[in-house]
Each structure stands twice: as structure tokens, then as C-alpha cells.
Amino acid sequence: MFLTKKHLSRRRVLRGMGVTMALPLLDSMVPAQTPLHRTAAVSPTRLACIEMVHGSAGSTGEGTNKHYWSPEKIGRDFEMSQTLEPLAPYRDYLTIISDTDLHPATAWAAAEEGADHFRSSAVYLTAAHPKMTEGSDYFVGTSIDQLYAQKFGQDTPLPSIQLCIEMVDASGACDYGYACVYADTISWASPTEPLPMTLDPRMAFENLFGEGGTAEDRLARGKVNSSILDWIAHDVKRLQKDLGPSDRNRLNAYLDDVREIERRIQKIEKYNSSGEARVLPAAPLGVPDAFEEHVRLMFDLQALAFMTDVTRVSAFKLSRDVSGRVWPESGVKTPFHPCSHHGENPAKIAEFAKLNRYHVSMLPYFLEKLKNTPDGDGSLLDHSMVMYGSPMGDSNVHNHKRVPLILLGHANGQLKGNLHVRMPDGTPMANVLLTMLHKLGVSVEHFGDSKGEIAI
């Protein structure tokens, strides 16, 4: 193999009844004596877009003065703010972009006043103003994740994946004259094509690993209480014979990860079907009551999808507007939406900042997964661009100024990290989205209400 430069295909999969499992990047997928950057084994940057609703305490006047979200200093010599402090171990991968506005999420006519919660999510990745309608004639814009997927996701099994933790789960009108779909998803394949987001980890797992074969095959497999790994055991053994020690170890670690995720999902399903009282009685069987476990499962699935190049694009919605969820682990007892309406009370703003910090603290789990996953000449975190933010600024007054926004990862060298930039007042957030697209290799002259690129 070394002399002839024969190698394993990057698209090699493990197959079984109703199972098609992609493989992580192995040494044997790279032709011998060939620089990695000159092979087909190198994938374009992975893009993960994450939304948390209701803005941040740092977007208020009080929060700006106390630097709840944005650090006081700009450049590379900044001190971590209270809210972003959980990201300190990943400072070298962190780019903070302060004081951009998302004007298309605001009311453009008197009839649209008060409907910010029902427009915001649709604007987050599109920077386009949603058409006010309660019917199916919705119209907004194509989101950046889908522009990227259309160019770099067509040769992967899944062009993109869309996940969520909460959803309105309703059709028709929600409130203030807007269709529910605007609040249900952040991912739009075209101005008229919203993409549904997956709430159930079991469904997400099946989408990544359970496809293949016929519907009858998958149904038969589902009736047998066993791991999907049992259905590909023969193919695994056959593959292992052709792998070197390091590749066998990497393959075994990958399979262990898949089995552990599957075990956790099965445990959740067993509890939820036991008749025990549930915190979320209306949620699907595979959805855990615990927010952190739900988020971690979804992050695990995204990391595995990126590792195996099943997809290079994910959109992840961590909550929904006007959610009344309470997170006991955060130390904040006030429900989310009421907490965001702090009435400019400094003590309540500080409480909201505490909740913002808790939400940000979910990110290191995902970042650690990406950082610890080898990917060619670096790690998945080196080769990823992770966006986290909110389409609102100060949710107490439903504005979209000084929206919280950060990028993480090195994006194949396009982002250096360890940087805080503060934009001039009135800078469109769309300038950031345009810059992201250009760094991802998508050539567009403008995006939404953009006016140009920013220096990051």
C-alpha cells in the first residue's frame, strides 16, 4: 500500500440492514507520500450556526456599562466578560464581534409593531425582512448555512442538518399576524423554503446512521432491541483486517462513541416510556427532560456528522421565542421570557446575565469534542466555523441593536481567534454574515442589508 499509493476511499461506508455508517478520516484514506493538502481527503470548513433567542443582558445600557457580554477592551488584549468567561479555555479560537444591528428584524410598518419575537429567528441567518403573513405564502431569504450547503454540501450524504431543543411545533398563524414557521426554524433553503428542525435525538441519530436499505429493513431493525453496530459487525471485522494499528484504534474509538450515544438515547426512551412522571410530558419519546443532556446529545451528533463528513453544515436552535422554560442548573428561577423582560431593573438585568452565561456554558462541551477530534493536519475545531448569537439585542424593549455574536474555530486558517472587534454604531450584522460567506468560499456581492465586509 505504501509503495503503490493505494488507499481507502473517503466515501467508504459500513453497511448492514437499514444501516449506512460513514467512517472518520483514517490514515489509510490518504495516499502514501502525498501531502494531505493535495488530496481529496481534505474537506472544506465545517459550519455550525447556533441560535439562542431573547438577546442578552449585555445589549442593555446597564449591561453595556458593566460589560456583561462585550469585553471592555478591543483587539487581542481583552479580558473575558462575565457572560463569555466559560469560553476562556478556547480564547485562541474565539472572535467576538460587538455592536452590530439586525435591522431587518425590526417592524417596517405600523401593522408589524410588537411582532419581534415572531420575526427574529427567520432573520438570524438570512438578514432579510420576513413577509407578514399567516398563510403559506411566507417569504424571507436564503440563510447562510444553506448558501454554503448549496456549494459545498452536495457531495456529502446530507447537505445539511437542522436541530433544535424547543419548537413551537405548530402550523398556521402564531401571533401578531405571522406564520409559526418564522419562529420554528433558522434555516431557509430559499426565501420560500423553510427547513424543519429535528427535536428528537433518536430521529437525528437515525438520519445520520440509520438510513440505507429499504423502509422494511429499517422497520425490522427497529423492532429488534439491539445496537445498529450489531448490524454492521461483519463489515467492521472485514475492514479492520485492512487497517493499521492507529486506524484500528481510531475506528474503535469512533464506534464506541456511536454506541455510547445510542445507549444514552435508549436509556432516555426507556425512562420516558416507563410511566414515570416527566418534566416535558408532551415531548417525543427520545427527548430527555434535562436540557443539558438534550443539548449534549445534539452536539455529539453534530460532531460525529462533521467527523465522518456525513455533512459539513449544521443549524442548531437552542430555544424558541417567548419560551417559559426554567433552568434550575443556572441558579435562575425566573422563566426565560419573563427574565428577559427585566424592566431596566439592574438586579433583574444581572439575573438575566447569569442566565446568558449559563447558555454560553453549553458551548465548551461541543468545542472540546471538535478540538479532540483529529482531522487531517489539525482538529475539527481548526477546520470549523462555529457561530453563536441571537437576533435580538435588548429583549426588554424588543430591539435588535448591539446583538450578541461570536465566532469560534479557525475555519481552515480564515479566523485567527483571540480577537474582539467593536463595530461603529449602525453596522449591519449582515456585514458579519457576508464576511463569513467569503471566508467559507461562497462568492456573493452582498447579503441581506450588508454594506461590506468586516476585518476579522
Kindly list the averaged pLDDT for each block of 10 residues, start to end, along the chain of length 456: 56 83 88 53 86 97 96 97 98 98 97 94 98 95 98 94 86 81 96 96 90 52 69 90 90 94 94 89 90 98 96 97 95 97 97 98 98 94 98 96 98 97 97 98 96 96
| 30 part of a folded domain | yes
Q: Are residues 61 and 158 in the same domain?
A: yes
Q: What angle do CA 134, 139, 144 make, to 5 degrees?
A: 135
C-alpha cell at 448: 441581506
Closest alpha carbon to 317 in 292, 333, 289, 295: 295
Task: End-to-end CA distance of the chain: give it in Å, rounded.
Answer: 43
| 206 part of a folded domain | no
What is the span of the domain harbouring residue 13? 1-42+217-284
| Per-residue confidence (pLDDT) for residue 41, from 0 to 100 | 54
Q: Are residues 182 and 135 in the same domain?
A: yes
Q: Which of the listed residues 264, 284, 304 is the one where a domain comes to its end? A: 284
Report the number of distinct structural domains present in the chain: 2
Q: Are residues 222 and 92 in the same domain?
A: no
| H/E run at residue 120 | helix 116-124
Would the CA dihedral through 162, 363, 418, 431 be positive or negative?
A: positive
Q: What is the pTM of this model?
A: 0.94
Residue 403: DSSP 8-state:
B
Dist. CA 89–CA 68, nearest whole Å: 18
Dist. CA 238–CA 219, nearest whole Å: 26
Beta partners for 175?
Answer: 178
Dist. CA 327–CA 295, nearest whole Å: 13
C-alpha cell at 213: 436499505
C-alpha cell at 370: 471538535
Identity (one letter) of the amino acid at 346? P
| 207 part of a folded domain | no
Upper half-sphere CA count for residue 324 (Cβ side, 13 Å): 1
Identify the three-state secondary structure at position 174.
strand
Dist. CA 187–CA 427, nearest whole Å: 23
| 205 part of a folded domain | no
| 208 part of a folded domain | no
Work out the number of other CB atoms within 10 angstroms of the CB of residue 20: 18
Pairing of strands 161-164, 94-101: unpaired
| 449 part of a folded domain | no
Beta partners for 421?
Answer: 97
CATH number assigned to the domain comprising residue 111: 3.40.720
| 453 part of a folded domain | no
Closest alpha carbon to 174 in 321, 319, 339: 321
Q: Are residues 426 and 106 in contact, defined by beta-carbon separation less than 8 angstroms?
A: no
| Per-residue confidence (pLDDT) for residue 224, from 0 to 100 | 54
Q: Are residues 403 and 101 in contact, defined by beta-carbon separation less than 8 angstroms?
A: yes
The dihedrals phi and psi of 164, each to the nearest 5 degrees, come to -150, 165
Residue 207: DSSP 8-state:
I
Q: Are residues 134 and 275 in the same domain?
A: no
Q: Are residues 195 and 316 in the same domain?
A: yes
Closest alpha carbon to 436 in 190, 143, 158: 143
Q: Which of the listed residues 269, 284, 299 is the one where a domain comes to its end? A: 284
Dist. CA 81–CA 68, nearest whole Å: 6
Q: Are residues 280 and 294 in the same domain?
A: no
C-alpha cell at 148: 454554503
Q: Are residues 277 and 312 in the same domain?
A: no
Q: Are residues 157 and 298 in the same domain?
A: yes
Q: Are residues 260 and 171 in the same domain?
A: no
| 451 part of a folded domain | no
Q: Are residues 208 and 301 in contact, defined by beta-carbon separation less than 8 angstroms?
A: yes
Closest alpha carbon to 63 in 260, 424, 342: 342
Q: Are residues 272 and 403 in the same domain?
A: no
DSSP notation for 157-225: SSS-EEEES------SEEETTEETHHHH-S-EEETTEEPP-B--HHHHHIIIII-SS-HHHHHHHHTS-
Q: Are residues 275 and 311 in the same domain?
A: no
Closest alpha carbon to 94 in 456, 444, 402, 403: 456
Q: Are residues 120 and 240 in the same domain?
A: no
Work out the number of other CB atoms within 10 angstroms of the CB of residue 456: 17
